[in-house]
Structure 1
Amino acid sequence: MDHLKELRKLQFLSRTELLEYQANQLKKILRHAHKNVPYYQQVLEKAGVIQGNKVNLKKFDQIPILTKDIIRQEKERIYSKDRDQRKYYENASGGSTGEPVSIIQDAFYRDRSWANKILYNEAIGDFLGDPEIKLWGSERDIFQGSLGLRARLQNYVWNRVLLNSFRMTEKEMADYVEKINEFKPVLIWSYIDSLYELARFIEANNLKVHSPVGIFVTAGTVYPSVKEYIGKIFKAPVYNQYGSREAGDMATECKEKKGLHVYEYLYYFEILNEELKPCKPGEIGEIYVTSLINYSMPMIRYKIGDTASFLEDQTCPCGRNLVLINDVHGRITDHFQRRDKALIHGEYFTHLFYFRPWIKKFQVRQSDYELIDCYIVKDLEEEAKDMEDISQKIKLVMGKECKVNFRFVNNIPPSRSGKFLFTVSEVNR
């Protein structure tokens, strides 16, 4: 609970105190990266950020942008040499570019992130131990028929019931509504599009559903109309939360709903234009994040692939002096539909491509109920066992009659809107 005690104080620092704390943490991780991470030793010296034993933050914008391609190319050279003693573990990126990459995190990152989750839950009226429903993707539940021990322990600690958003048949959605009514959660946490589908089901079937104190939606662009609709059906306030697998939870709305507060005590957040210059308030640009808590794999000026803008008015009645951003625009995934009208969350398919080093970029397209094409840009030679594994896991949810094709291409273009689509369904809903 030491982390939580400290974060409770940090969130209400004055703007001057907050920026001073953030600068000290930034210097700390830059020194660590220079000393312990082979990739950054030369990079930080060349940028002029590290001079002798001093850190020059005025040169911070000279540090090259960190991309997924660089992470793949550098491999273990981007890991800290002391990662073993930091109790590191592997994760995979999600993001909006369709380019999965493996990253590592550690015990300090995990503990700090968990404490911060407790903090922003408290901000909307949900306290540790209060009942919580999480409508989230669990491929393990589908592959193995149950959650892992670690997931079960986490759910016990959080007093949480997990509903699998990768299973969204009408029968299962009816069961989910029943579980929500039985468990009476204080908080519901969900993929935005999964909860939207559940809300539509509730309205179409004229069902009654328990109203929680609050709802957090994430993992997708949160359109105001969708957010309002969910709030209307559940009769509860809906809050936007922004995060990624590789960096963690970075920003959340408070009760005032004026914008998303960036956790500047955990992250250094940049929004830059095409020339990599800081965007003016109200100007949309790309998000680049520096984690101040992941010492096993320092991610400095990491390009996530999402866009946002800083609010022009940075004052919030809640009393927090954390910088405010507008709604984030990022990943777009379509649900896939089976012939029996069951919906399969697009995130299910993206997870199948993680931890496969030969896959540089991918897109999954459904052109008919039993026809799916996987477009892949290769980084290395394809592995037949991976392709068979992906195919079988697609058929597990789409049906054994489903035909799965693998199409290797040199490039996968974005949609007309300029957004990259992880999954595309051409089946009429």
Structure 2
Amino acid sequence: MNSFNNPIFLLKVLKSYFFEINRLRRLNDEKLRKYQDKRLRKMVKFAYTVPLYHDKYKKEGVHPEDIRGISDINKLPMISKHDFKKYYPDGIVSSKVNKNKLIEITTSGTTGKSLSIYVDMFDIIAGLFGYVRSIREHGIDWRKDKITIIADFAPHTVESGYIHKGIQPRFSSKLFFKNLQWLNTNDPPEKVIEQINKFKPVFIGGYVGMLGHLALLKEKGFGKDISPKVIATTGSPLTNSLKEFLIKSFDATIFQSYGSTESGSIAFECKNGNYHVMSDLVYLEYLKEGRPVESGEAGKILLTKLYGIGTPIIRYDAINDIVAPSKKTCSCGLSGELIDRIYGRDDISLYSPDGRVILPASFGEIFSKVLYELKTNKLKDAIIIQHSLKKIELQVVIDEKQRNIGPSVEKIFSVLRQGLKEKLGKNVEIITKEVKKIDREKPRVIQKLDMKKLKITGYA
């Protein structure tokens, strides 16, 4: 049965649209905390009907009645990716929910280790409404303005689950989404920019890498009719230099959107440039060596999702993002927590001889230079192998069609080597190697270090 033929579900969706999108404007921080307390109680009670959580809570001697709100959240055990894999498939859904009515989605597998979880149709709607909230804050009307979303539509990804399995089969695209254009980030940038040029959107949302390639093509004269007012980036931290390159190429407002497969929307930048957590949808903890960090201090996040009847996400520790919270305030009028900085994932990081963790936000700057300094997108793919603290191997795939156009391959290698040495130290050996193909199922960074022997001194 189509969920939207169910009047109860439809009323729930309408209520969500009219009341929940603006919740961070309607509620002050005190009322928002009460709302979080209520949602956490409900989610913990629901999780107790899920075999994974029931077993973990019982082992820890925790009962749903012990959790009265956010202040009690540390009584709950952390949940790992291993836990999900161990109990998959039937043990990660509630005994009160028909699994066949849920939609299975899979994490991107950036680290080479994908994970499958389940969401319900309202999960999908709430996640999309979170995105609608972020673009509305930047003056975009999703019902009237032309919107282009460049998503990862590879099989089993969250975007495929949300759109191809969830939204599109239940809605008429011509009736409801005639102002929306869905494009695949796995397509060649030349194809993507041609499609955008025909559509002429007011808003473009997409992955940082693809948007960087589109900006370069735009600068070279492609996409003459592309003139968006706003662009939202996602997928990885946006460096300041690449942001300026996007602004210059598109003459648009740029903001970052932060989310995960497991939870959907997590945070976004407001017009003031501050990162606002979707505090009514998720609750974040920031820990370093098991203790909460201070404002501005980097820590690994624990994620709790405050809605849905699919796989519960409560104190989940495998997002692996390093994030610094902020206790500052913002004048934009939104309630909830702020984020100072998103560094990126610590499981796709490099390590310097002096103990610093070089996170994606940092070494992403190196690859961005190929776009905005060398003005080329002939670098199709790359993978980094860290053999030791003193030896890094960089494997890259070059676009054969562009091999003899623009800067030489050796010039690209030189920029990458210099950038990595600046981040890791001048005494680190950087080996650059051209390969024909890279296995996309492998992690982007392959670590051969003994992580247990590393002494971490900080993040960069």
TM value normalised by structure 2: 0.68
Task: Report the Cα offset of residue 98 of structure 1.
Answer: 3.2
Task: Report the Cα offset of residue 135 of structure 1.
Answer: 2.4
Give the AA of the match of 1:287. I
Equivalent residues of 1:89, 1:105 under 8 A apart = yes
SS in structure 2 of the partner of residue 80 of structure 1: coil
Equivalent residues of 2:111, 2:442 under 8 A apart = no
- Distance, in Å, in 2 between the alignment partners of 1:154 and 1:91 is 22
Q: Which one has more relative contact order, counting CA pairs under 8 Å at least 6 apart?
A: 1
- Distance, in Å, in 2 between the alignment partners of 1:266 and 1:201 is 37
- Distance, in Å, in 2 between the alignment partners of 1:119 and 1:375 is 33
Give the AA of the match of 1:163. L
Give aligned-pair identity as a percent.
Answer: 28
Q: Does 1:40 align with 2:106?
A: no
SS in structure 2 of the partner of residue 31 of structure 1: helix
Q: Does 1:297 align with 2:363?
A: no
Give the AA of the match of 1:64. P
Task: Report the Cα offset of residue 415 of structure 1.
Answer: 8.8
- Distance, in Å, in 2 between the alignment partners of 1:95 and 1:65 is 21
Equivalent residues of 2:104, 2:119 under 8 A apart = yes
Aligned counterparts, 1:130-145, within 5 A = 130-139=145-154
Task: Report the Cα offset of residue 367 of structure 1.
Answer: 5.2
Task: Report the Cα offset of residue 46 of structure 1.
Answer: 4.5
SS in structure 1 of the partner of residue 52 of structure 2: helix
Q: Does 1:183 align with 2:217?
A: no
* Long gaps (5+) in structure 2: 1-13, 156-162, 346-359, 368-379, 382-397, 404-431, 452-460
Match of 1:370 among 418, 422, 436: 436
Equivalent residues of 2:112, 2:442 under 8 A apart = no
Task: Report the Cα offset of residue 205 of structure 1.
Answer: 3.7
TM value normalised by structure 1: 0.72
Match in the other structure for 2:180: 160
Match of 2:325 among 310, 313, 323: 310
Task: Report the Cα offset of residue 323 of structure 1.
Answer: 0.8
SS in structure 2 of the partner of residue 328 of structure 1: strand
- Distance, in Å, in 1 between the alignment partners of 2:214 and 2:270 is 24
Equivalent residues of 2:259, 2:267 under 8 A apart = yes
- Distance, in Å, in 2 between the alignment partners of 1:26 and 1:69 is 23
CA change 1:111–1:136 in 2 (3 A) is: closer
**Alignment deviations for residues 57-85 of structure 1 (CA, whole Å, 9 cap, x no partner):** 44421322211111111222222112217
Match in the other structure for 1:80: 94
Equivalent residues of 1:113, 1:248 under 8 A apart = yes
- Distance, in Å, in 2 between the alignment partners of 1:414 and 1:221 is 25
- How many positions carry a matched residue from both structures? 347
Aligned counterparts, 1:27-426, within 5 A = 27-34=41-48, 36-47=49-60, 49-50=62-63, 53-57=65-69, 58-75=71-88, 76-84=90-98, 87-94=101-108, 97-129=111-143, 130-139=145-154, 151=168, 156=174, 157-158=176-177, 159-168=179-188, 170=190, 172=191, 176=193, 178-205=194-221, 208-258=224-274, 260-273=275-288, 275-303=289-317, 304-313=319-328, 315-330=329-344, 335-336=380-381, 337-341=398-402, 368-372=434-438, 412-413=446-447
CA change 1:206–1:294 in 2 (3 A) is: closer
SS in structure 1 of the partner of residue 400 of structure 2: coil
- Distance, in Å, in 2 between the alignment partners of 1:21 and 1:155 is 34
Q: RMSD over aligned Cα, in angstroms?
A: 3.2
Task: Report the Cα offset of residue 103 of structure 1.
Answer: 0.6
CA change 1:374–1:168 in 2 (3 A) is: closer
